[in-house]
Amino acid sequence: MDKAAQLGALQVKLGQAGEPGAFEAARASLERCITLERKRAACYHWLGVANEWTGRPREAAAAYSTALRLDPSLGDAYAPLADIYASFRLDAAADQVLTEGERVLAQNPEQKEQRLAIAVLTAKLAPRQGKSAIAALERAHQLGGAEHPELSFELGMAYALEKLVYLEPSKEIATLPGLTR
């Protein structure tokens, strides 16, 4: 990442830490960075982050999209872009971004956290699309289960809920205290 993008990234991080005015400074720096050279994917990515944190999701989505068009290996942009699409209920677009992110990043072990974010978001969106979340949660658990114990819980819940969907009520279940038919 070049110095212009680093400055913008630092200002975004200061904004995330609560520094007043840092996001606006970041946006100005990153827009200057883009004006100087339109092919700086990192500047677009950090502009997307700044826009997202300041309540500009449409501008953030445009910046993330441009960053990925310029550099598809920029793993940090896939999950946030898909999450924005999902927040607008554009599930097909979100799914397309997540699928592309999985495909592009699959061979890059250095982008484990980015692949984890993609897997978690894929699992989150699966039920809305009438799909099982289990495969995505298993992938997420494989990528980050040791560092994220909540993934074990979520995966266990997904297994349990899937079994309940196919479980037919029996006499034994119906006789449990508190359950009525």
- pLDDT tens digits for range 34-67: 998 889 999 999 999 999 999 999 999 999 999 9
Q: How many residues does the chain have?
A: 181
Q: For 84-104, what is the mean pLDDT?
A: 96
Burial of 49 by CB count in 10 Å (0-12 exposed, 13-18 middle, 19+ buried)?
A: buried
Q: Are residues 162 and 100 in the same domain?
A: yes
Which residue is listed with tokens 């607008």? 88
Q: What is the rounded CA–CA span in Å between residue 101 and residue 16?
A: 25
Q: What is the pLDDT confidence band of residue 178, given thresholds at 50, 70 and 90? A: low
Report the pLDDT value the prediction gives residue 171, as an integer from 0 to 100. Answer: 47
Q: Are residues 101 and 178 in the same domain?
A: yes
Mean pLDDT of the chain: 89
Q: Are residues 97 and 67 in the same domain?
A: no
Q: Are residues 100 and 146 in the same domain?
A: yes
Q: Are residues 98 and 134 in the same domain?
A: yes
Q: Are residues 107 and 137 in the same domain?
A: yes
- Report long-range pairs for 128-133 (Cβ below 8 Å, ≥24 apart): 128/91, 129/91, 129/95, 132/158, 132/162, 133/158
Q: Are residues 55 and 131 in the same domain?
A: no
Q: Are residues 60 and 15 in the same domain?
A: yes
Q: Are residues 46 and 96 in the same domain?
A: no
Q: Which of 71, 99, 123 lies at the terminal end of a domain, its last residue? A: 71
Q: Tell me the pLDDT tens digit for each residue of 95-115.
A: 999 999 999 999 888 999 999
Q: What is the rounded CA–CA span in Å between residue 153 and residue 100?
A: 27
Nearest Cα residue to 44 out of 58, 70, 63: 63
Report the pLDDT value the prediction gives residue 3, as an integer from 0 to 100. Answer: 85
Question: How many independent structural domains does the chain possess?
Answer: 2
Q: Are residues 102 and 180 in the same domain?
A: yes
Range of the domain at 2: 1-71
